[in-house]
Amino acid sequence: MKFSGMGRAGRRLVSTTALAAATIAAAPLAAQDAAAAPETVDDQGIVVTSLRRTETLQDTPAAVTAFDSQAIQNAGIERPADFIALTPNVNLVETQNAGNAFVIIRGITQNRNSEPSVAVIVDGVQQVNPAQFNQDLFDIEQIEVLKGPQGGLYGRNAIGGAIIITTKAPTDEFSGNFTAGIDNGFGYFLRGGVSGPLTEGVKFRIAGSWYDTDGFIDNVFLGEKADPVQDFSLRGSLVMEATDRLTFDLRASVNQLRTQGLYYNIVADVNDIAPVEVNNPGQNDRDIYNVALKVEYAGDNAVLTSVSSYDTLKEVLTGDAFDFKPIPQSFFFNLFEFLFGPGNGFDLNQSQYLNVKAFSQEVRLASPEDGRAFNWMVGGYLIDTTRFISTGNMIDTGNGVFPVFRSPSTNPVNPQFSYLADGQENFAWALFANAGYEFSPEFRVDASLRYDRDRRRQTTLTPQGFLPNVPGVPQAQSGEVRTAVFDDWQPKITLTYEPTPDLTLYGGYSRGFRSGGFNQTGVGAESVNAGIVGVGDIFQAETADTFEVGAKAQVGPVRLGAAAYTTKSENSYFFVFLAQSSTQNLGNIPETRINGFELEATAEILPDFDVNAAIGVTDSEIKAFADPSVIGNEAPQISRYTFNLGAQYAGALTDTVDGLFRVDYRRTGRTWWEPFNTTVREPVDIVDVRAGFTLQNGVSVTGFASNLFNEIYNAEFSPGGFVFRARPRRYGVEIGYKF
């Protein structure tokens, strides 16, 4: 296979991985298990469904990291950051507020107001808004992280891969679990679920979680924590087996989060650590509701599946504004005092309001999973989304910050300074077909094709007096309506060769597509005024074309995996904050080349004692940009590498007591944050540990520490010097019970 467009560094990366893959292929080995703890895997390996069919991880021709329920418990996975930290070449950037958590997977990035970089599917239902992703994980059966474009399989937003989360299903017998714990927040948490039959053919499951903490990051000005949390989640499911062929699965969930955000610092370098000292703690209130119905009919020659989902999301965000200092120390206060004399200074605070409603529908017709050589699937998908967003600055009079919703503030103690609001109506649909044929027990070909079409309609709801007016640039008009259509084909083909049951080789091509969209009306004019290139009122759709080769194998107790890839990304995103309107905007990088590889190994070196290691390397280069000086730079938000090392003992201590000791180390390499490469974050090293015991009666006690050595670093850097502090050390103890 020829990897066109690679630089010398990219060729070295692929050569290294090709050598490793050849070494694997030279021995009769078996499949890799990724990050899942080996003690949870039987002789056939973990069963995954990420390729829309049920097969062992051994036989899956893709780079998949999977965690079953035991691995989730042993690793203490409670939120997305926990399993992403155990997955090579995948990062999560948590910043600004609860709804802003960006998945970066193999160099495919995400940012504020963009579509996600991965398709996130929970119990067969795709999340429709990226602000839904960063929620607590509880009562989870399995998590699968599928890397590389999966447009042909999952379509919408699967440009970097897919994350498939499966919650625990209703059971035929009454059962449950419960966990309670405390941490150094000082905080406490409760998680649990119960399940059982209601009547013949009908069973239920209810699960929930609660977390309350004062926080971990000091606000030195207010003398309190900057990041308190109250987080409530509840999920219910009802499964009715109407006949032996027809099943109804009804699910509903709610998440209510109360926390704070916007506790930024302004620094010259991303590695600079400054104290949080905002004078407005503000609020970050997020409410998410979902109801979904899955109907499945299993015929003799085909299975018909319908998945309907309705989601609502509201998020209110208020807090301090640039430069996030107390009023007498702030930039604007001192500037206006200097320009206009004492008594004329003022500071700013800010507010954002997001309201999203979406209905989605998918229908699939597929061949039964009965081991036949030829399998197929055809289907269609649609989603109708209504979104309102407003952002703006208010004058900080020292009386606090108040939320602003669908119209500018008339509050005399917090008067509006700037304001932008837009409404969007988006309708997208897709048709797809997948097919796979096993030509022999050793050789298989899988192919898929999907067409996505996304029509977006934006209405400017900003009052005319608040719209930017830049000389020489046509001013946007209140009530103005803009439309845009983004569409593309997404093919995928994979060849799989298994010369022995102990070795899987695969390779192929895939394309991912992510819709473009609108920045808030008027930012294009403001960007011109500020001399910023690449940012307009519309950002374009992104495509990613990837070639990949990989191998999975085993020798003795050692499971191995290797993959190498090269991706050509067109119109990837970069982020720009415009201070005049306090808006968060996306620009496009016309072309980026991304080359990388992953090597993973796990081994049970002693009974119940396992070790694992993984490295993922990503080399990116900007090939085209409006500013020629940027060409050749690293692409933004991409870490050069991730390195994981872990060890775990999970087995008997006595005849009646099982023990657990686990340590995980993660090193995230140098990270660039914007296309101009003005600053780079140095590598970050994090160690997590867990230790405890479980009694025969189902009671367990576990101590834990995340970020054990209290690494202090900034989670994100944004142009203009904005940095957002990562969470420091968290430790505590939890007690669990299963019945």
* pLDDT tens column, 367-413: 998 878 999 999 999 999 999 999 999 999 999 999 999 999 999 99
Percent of the chain scored above 90 by pLDDT? 76
Residue 722 has pLDDT above 90, yes or no: yes
Residue 159 has pLDDT above 60, yes or no: yes
Please give the average per-residue pLDDT across 447-476, as a whole number: 87
Q: What is the DSSP letter of 276?
A: B
User: For residues 457 and 580, what is the distance between their CA atoms, to the nearest angstrom?
Assistant: 25
> Which of 589-610 are b and which e, b meaning 16 or more Cβ less than 10 Å from the residue's Cβ?
bbbbbbbbbbbbbbbbeeeebb
Q: Quick one: pLDDT band at residue 13, thresholds 50, 70, 90?
A: very low
User: For residues 63 and 297, what is the distance between their CA atoms, to the nearest angstrom?
Assistant: 31
What are 330-345's pLDDT values in tens digits?
A: 999 999 999 999 988 9
User: For residues 208 and 254, what is the distance between their CA atoms, to the nearest angstrom?
Assistant: 9
Residue 45 has pLDDT above 70, yes or no: no
* pLDDT value of residue 351: 95
Residue 618 has pLDDT above 50, yes or no: yes
Identify which has the larger pLDDT, 719 or 391.
391
Percent of the chain scored above 70 by pLDDT? 93
Task: Report the range of poorest mean pLDDT among 155-159, 427-431, 606-610, 723-727.
Answer: 155-159
Q: Quick one: pLDDT band at residue 19, thresholds 50, 70, 90?
A: very low
Task: Report the range of poorest mean pLDDT among 76-90, 119-133, 196-210, 308-322.
Answer: 119-133
User: For residues 21 and 290, what is the distance between their CA atoms, to the nearest angstrom?
Assistant: 44
Please give the average per-residue pLDDT across 250-269, as a whole number: 96
* pLDDT value of residue 10: 44
Residue 226 has pLDDT above 90, yes or no: yes
User: For residues 411 and 400, what is the distance between their CA atoms, to the nearest angstrom?
Assistant: 11
5: left (phi over 0), alpha (psi -120 to 50) or beta: left
Identify which has the larger pLDDT, 130 or 469.
130
* pLDDT value of residue 99: 82
Q: Which two tokens stand for residue 691?
A: 């230790």
Residue 324 has pLDDT above 90, yes or no: yes
* pLDDT value of residue 508: 96
Please give the average per-residue pLDDT across 435-454, as a whole number: 95
Identify which has the larger pLDDT, 35 or 300.
300
Spell out the domain ranges in the chain: 8-738
What are 50-68's pLDDT values in tens digits?
A: 677 778 777 788 899 999 9
* pLDDT value of residue 40: 35
By DSSP bridging, strand 119-122 and strand 161-167 are parallel
By DSSP bridging, strand 64-68 and strand 699-706 are unpaired
Q: What is the mean pLDDT of the chain?
A: 90
* pLDDT value of residue 582: 62
* pLDDT value of residue 51: 76
Q: Structurally, what CATH architecture does the domain formed by 8-738 represent?
A: Beta Barrel (2.40)
